Structure 1
């Protein structure tokens, strides 16, 4: 009888352990939320880079990782709503892709770790007080580029460059920063920048047409509004024979003659590494903001032909990728 009771107790104990196992595993599960201001190839690549970095470091969705993603569909109001929704769920880390989404997150929580990415200047965007470790809940990876290098590419495309058209969204901090920097660098060189604001994606074709006959070239940065509707900008550039140069490598395959910029997939991998450091116990405020460390130049010969440009070997030879068709 005593032996039977001992077996019964052992069986009950074993059953309880089995019953408790999923709960102990779920207690080890990490929760990462990701939000982007809009969906377009560059930002989609950032998201994939973050996800792949997590996976390659042993964080598997459904096993030890809960991963949630939402796009704000280009709306700052949606970004604020998503931020509140995510914060209420208390994830271990929230990734903000793009300035408006990152700003919405930073305005919503001062405790949950935030990792921004695809943000040009986190200091001007008021995400961090400086480029040093913030001692707050925010850190991340910037996609800031050297404009001097961008200008060199523009001059290789158009050696007699005198006027540059800049289509941008005035509501996006990244874009207004770049406009100011372009003007500061180019004015002493005798090159004029003509700004063409487009508040909404539907305004982009009109903004581009306003530059016809006034500029030698149109330059676009990583403005999410513009990149979301890039095909409409390309259509105007092709019709007007205005060379189009971008700072987002994915824009070359969509119709820019040349695009020198961050590899947004690698930018996502870099942000993913910071996420992992935080999941492993580091505080975001102890991790200084970083700048993306992988850039690519992509050339589109077909776009050059449509926009009336003959490309020199000096630019083709330095390209990481040349699109023939």
Structure 2
């Protein structure tokens, strides 16, 4: 059954059904097998495939019976002379209590369907249903992550765009070459932040655009903003959600530097923890009394902390995400922990 799982995790469609059908037929030991949606055959494999296939009506196997019940058909209703199929077991593929399709296992004429055959087909249909349900959940999770990313972009764009353009404008007359370079950095960063369709990037990519963001902020603050970046090369190929590190840095600038009289120091440190990677974004600003609450509210401490936390947990599970360390007068450190490798999470 494990051979069918990668195909069905993409949902129940013609392509996934076609790939899974041979494995399902081998699993149940039937002469032929059909994977169906609520109305028609999506894929057929085995005996009878010369005239049975995608598009055949489900009524060929149901004969007016309830679609949510497992049953045995004594004879497949096929009028093609010489069709080898005789009896069949028809099992609903359920997601929750709703039938989303059927698994039909057919035996050759003259063969008998045993109770064991019926049980195996029913269990195979239940496993297919479980995989389809997981595919639906993953699709919902992807849609939620996309919505959260759009919300994050809406949060960061007005503040960042205004300040970046102001910094560029301040250099137009005094240092036109610097202004041109800043405008290039601004264009590249906004293309990454607001137009990229990639859900995941390598940490190296995210850091590249974090550095562009900081270049623009240093143009605004000048020597009042000190920056140190020290990231172990072993973690640079870790994959993270796009715009996961940058909001932590922007948050540190807004609350650690702007909230500290317009000057301060910010550092980004990345460590190799073996199977995991740890990123620390630290500012020496005023700090806060209740750091744990920063992850539970969309406003207050900052841009997107709860948003980033949600996307990290969606991608990697509850064992990963953000931790905020802070105290009044002692600055703030946001620690992000991600796996260096996560199955199914790849940079585009």
Query: What TM-score does the superposition give when structure 1 sets the normalisation length?
Result: 0.25
Radius of gyration: which is bigger? 2
Taking CA–CA contacts closer than 8 Å with sequence separation of 6 or more, which of the two structures ends up with the larger relative contact order? Answer: 1
